[in-house]
Amino acid sequence: MRSSGSGLAVVGLLLLAACSPKLPEPESAGAQLYAQRCNTCHRVYAPASLKFEMWKIQVQRMQGEMARRGVPPLTESEQTTVLDYLKRHSG
């Protein structure tokens, strides 16, 4: 019985890992900030999943959502860093 529980835990972890894309330039400030700030409320999406124009809309929309939830929104500098990163890697 104990081994089947361990097996389920491993399968669950593998499924979670499959849902989180590997970010391009994972060591860059943009990737780290994107992962850190966005992953607090939802999974991060692959930058290539959207065109840059859509990313700009999403980042702006999330600013309002963060404020609504009492989470500090991105500073201007953070927005610039995240948007520059998303622009480099958008679809």
Give the residue from 34, 51, 57, 44 showing the smallest Cα distance to 87.
51
The H or E element that residue 3 is part of is helix 2-19
**How much is the pTM?**
0.75
Q: The dihedral of CA 21, 31, 84, 57: what is its sign?
A: positive
pLDDT of residue 40: 87
- Average pLDDT on 74-89 reads 97
Per-residue pLDDT of 20-72, as tens digits, reads 579 999 999 999 999 999 998 899 999 999 999 999 999 999 999 999 999 99
